[in-house]
Structure 1
Amino acid sequence: MHGTVAAGYEGVREEFATVVAGEREDYAGQLVAYVRGELVVDLWSGPGFSADTLTGVFSCTKGAAYLVVALLVQDGVLEPDQRVSHYWPEFAAEGKQDVTLRELLAHRAGVVGADAGFSLEELADDRLIAARMAGQRPYWRPGAAFGYHAWVIGALTGEVVRRVTGRSIQELFEERVRAPYGLDFYLGLPEELEPRFATTLPMLPTPEQQAEIDAEVTGVESLGGIAFNEHRADAPELWDFPNQRIARAQGQASSGGVASARGLAGMYAAATTGLDGRPPLLKPGTMAEFAQIQSIGYDVVSGTHKAFGLGFSAVGEFYPFLGQGAFGHSGAAGSLALADPRSGLAYGYTRRRYAYPGGAAPENDGLLRACVTAARATR
């Protein structure tokens, strides 16, 4: 284990050491925390891993996309209660004409995938996804339910952004967020940074875990199968998507981001408390609006309890020790990134091997709890 912690954060280091000791010998991960803009935790472990190693962060990418949308709402360029078809007329097809941007961000639009699915090349291309989804009939009446738009939400919101600004989410993220702060969080990884990228390794479940996986398998033509593109025979495995250069290069705004834990935590610090002497990107009212729960309860795609704000996951629903108004997003392989504005914490965690059962890895509970406890004790 390598890295440093500030005074008062020794308990975080001890918790990370426990995680490392309890994992397989090939475990590799990073943990970073900022509190009120100050770097207080910077830890990493694993063969060939350093603080500068970059990994695919899967749906943590969505947080970057939502931050761009939040900035445009704050600027008055976008209005959450405006119809999506006002900005993007083609989206009105197949009964979607009244879907608002708020409903889209809250995963209530019902267009979680395409009937024919997407190949790797198509899945990496937000513009193509958006064009296909414009003509897609919703899988439920918009607003009647909510379900995780896993592969397509970045493309859908990105097309709204492009129609209004003439720029992609990737371009705006680079100009307004990543470059000004020098963040190691890329929606489109430059080729010269490829040597720093570490491929995601597949899940290695125990026999007991594999039995649970086998028992929970749903049909590839089910709503969940369509949302996760499992009904397309030539599609990449979810865990392998960021390992494809086309995915990293194009930085698909739902799951194509590449980052380090420093980059993940740094983005949320820049957004909420400020970083490197700069004021926060988001005003308190914008933060509160985007963190406010819009959809909560039974997610018809995952079949589990979920809670979403405007795009962002309402993470306090799953980590109740967080303050009210905490927001962020997890990534399929186990990563997690979030902000807890009440404690001033910005948190980022990555790991190389895909964790069971998918989504925020179980160890985040103890790591995040230790960070929050220390942040509150050192006010």
Structure 2
Amino acid sequence: MKGADTIQVRGAVADGFENVRDEFAAAVTAEPGLGAQLAVRVAGREVVDLWAGPGVSGESLFALYSSGKGAAYLVVALLVQEGVLDLDRAVAAHWPEFAAEGKGDLTLRDLLGHRAGLIGVDGGFSAAELADDRLLAARLAAQRPYWRPGSAYGYHAFVIGALVGEVVRRVTGLSIQEIYAERVRKPYGLDFYLGLPEALEARYVPVRPACEGGQGAPAPDSLTGIAFNLHATPPTDLVDFANTRAVRALGPTSSGSVGNARGLAALYAAAISEVDGRSPLLTPATLAEFTRPHASGTDLVTGEPDHFLLGFEAQGVRYPLLSAGAFGHSGAVGAQAFADPHHELAYSYTRNRFATGGGGGALENHRLIAAVLRAIG
């Protein structure tokens, strides 16, 4: 298409998905200098693989922040499916230190539902702690919750991966990062990493701040400020955080994922569809458990209504054109990735610059998703 060629949109789309290419071209045209990627699979088959921007290719690796939570929850879902983890068993049964400060009765289900009230620690985390899930877990075990566990929910932005990951480690002896690499990333050849190998650093495209001023920062002592470690000295700068090699190397599951749109779309396709001759990773029963709402009302940290399913974000709430069972996770930079079992759809949009306004997926995801659904028919 002439417009797409003008802004050097590259890649390919399947017949019938030309409107998706046009919408992607419009999105990157509206933000000069943006690097972005879009990948879509339907019934496991790749139908969209696009990219644009200076120095960006389909193989470029971006900082994708909380997108890693989706990979972590997929690992947990597999372990629940196999009977290794019990959603209704107390976290402290596996991790005794966690029982401190009134947290002894909290279940894994409540933890995955962001109901622990354990969004940070008094005084904040150091940069070294934020990069290392084991250090985060050690600090969090002794922390008094910021609300009574189980009574409400709020996004555990920097810490949910470390909390759930410590349960996984205590039960299996392995980290979520290790299980993800061996059971998901390597078998499917995914370009999405919880711990980026040094050899792949040349493909990393540094993240950039928003081109315009976004929303004002929340008060450091608010629940939002604490959840994003703004009460620390110094407060966490998300751009500097992701552009630090130690963060990319250790791959903290809540905040340090690195990858591209192809990798994330293939991950969600593998969860629900046959890919490369392999059966879907999740059974219908597991999907039903993890994609039903586990929290109603308003998220105390983000202010979003009905934010979560079980761990995964409720994408059907954020994007009403999707089905109620659509599950996935956004990334702070404006990335979005999910699976919608009803449409047999796996979607991933990535970008290398923070979206103006921040919070969840960048606004262009609404138009891109609508274009994809029109193409599916």
TM range (shorter): over 0.9
Matches within 5 A, 1:65-76: 65-76=72-83
Match of 1:168 in 2: 175
Unmatched 5+ residue regions in structure 1?
none
1:360 partnered with 2:361: yes
The yes-or-no answer on 1:3 pairing with 2:11 is yes
2:120 to 113, 117, 130: 113
Whole-Å separation in 1 of the counterparts to 2:233 and 2:52: 36
Q: Partner letter of residue 120 of structure 2?
A: G
Alignment of 1:1-379 (within 5 A): 1-24=9-32, 26-205=33-212, 210=214, 213-214=215-216, 217-358=217-358, 359-375=360-376, 377=377
CA distance in 2, matches of 1:274, 1:139: 42
How far residue 236 of structure 1 moved from its aligned partner, in angstroms, is 3.4
SS at match of 2:163: helix
* Alpha carbons 1:239, 1:333 under 8 Å: kept: no
Partners in 2 of 1:108 and 1:33 — Cα distance? 32
SS at match of 2:207: coil
The structure 1 segments of at least 4 consecutive aligned residues displaced by more than 6 Å after TM superposition are none
SS of the residue corresponding to residue 12 of structure 2 reads strand
Q: Is the 8 A contact 1:15 1:370 kept in 2?
A: yes
Give the letter for the 2:207 counterpart: T
Equivalent AA in structure 1 for residue 248 of structure 2: R
Deviation at 1:204?
Answer: 2.1
Cα offset for 1:10? 1.1
Task: Provide, for residues 114-159 of structure 1, a one-character-per-residue CA deviation record: whole Å limited to 9, x for no partner.
Answer: 1021111110010010011110111101111110000000000000
Shift of residue 72 of structure 1?
0.2
Deviations 1:210-251 (A, max 9, x none): 5xx24xx43211211111100112343023321100000000
What is the distance in 1 between the residues matched to 2:218 and 2:314? 26
Query: How far apart, in 2, do the equivalents of 1:195 and 1:84 lie?
Result: 40
Q: Secondary structure at the match of 1:40?
A: strand
Counterpart amino acid of residue 72 in structure 2: A
Secondary structure in 2 matching 1:295 = coil
Distance 1:250 1:51, change over 3 A: same
Alpha-carbon shift at residue 305 of structure 1 (Å): 2.5
Q: Deviations over 1:46-91 (max 9, x none)?
A: 0100000000101111000000000000000001111111111111
Instruction: Note if contact 1:68-1:173 (Cα within 8 Å) is conserved in structure 2.
Output: yes
Aligned residue identity for 1:367? L
Distance 1:300 1:332 in 2: 18
- Please state how far the C-alpha of 1:22 moved relative to its aligned partner: 1.4
Q: Give the TM-score of the pair, scaled to structure 1.
A: 0.95
Deviates further, 297-306 or 247-256? 297-306
CA distance in 1, matches of 2:218, 2:257: 27
Letter aligned with residue 372 of structure 2 = C
State which drifts further: 357-366 or 302-311.
Answer: 302-311
Q: Which residue of 1 aligns with 2:3?
A: none
1:22 alignment partner AA? A
Deviation at residue 356 of structure 1 after TM alignment: 1.6
Q: Is the 8 A contact 2:314 2:324 kept in 1?
A: no
Maintained 8 Å contact 1:239/1:332 = no
Alpha-carbon distance between aligned partners in 2 of 1:295 and 1:360, rounded to the nearest angstrom: 20
Letter in 1 for 2:31: E
Q: 1:271, 1:281 within 8 Å by CA — same for their partners in 2?
A: yes
Once the two structures are superposed, what CA deviation does each residue of 1:21-59 show, in whole Å capped at 9, x if it has no partner? 2112x1110000000010000000001000000001011
Does the 8 A contact of 1:120 with 1:235 survive in 2? no
Per-residue CA deviations over 1:148-178 (Å, capped at 9, x if unaligned) read: 0000000000000000000000000000000
Where structure 2 has 5 or more consecutive residues not aligned to the other structure, the ranges are: 1-8
How far off its partner does 1:306 sit?
Answer: 4.2
- The one-letter amino acid paired with 2:312 is F
Equivalent AA in structure 2 for residue 335 of structure 1? A
Q: RMSD value over aligned CA atoms? A: 1.1
Assess if the C-alpha contact under 8 Å between 1:29 and 1:45 holds in 2: yes
> 1:170·1:251 contact (CA, 8 Å) conserved in 2?
yes
Q: 2:147, 2:74 → 1: CA distance?
A: 27
Q: 44-53 vs 274-283, which deviates more? A: 274-283
After TM superposition, the structure 1 stretch with the greater mean CA deviation from structure 2, 350-359 or 339-348, is 350-359
Q: Look up the match of 2:5.
A: none
Q: What secondary structure does 1:307 align onto?
A: coil
Q: Specify the SS of the correspondent of 1:253.
A: coil
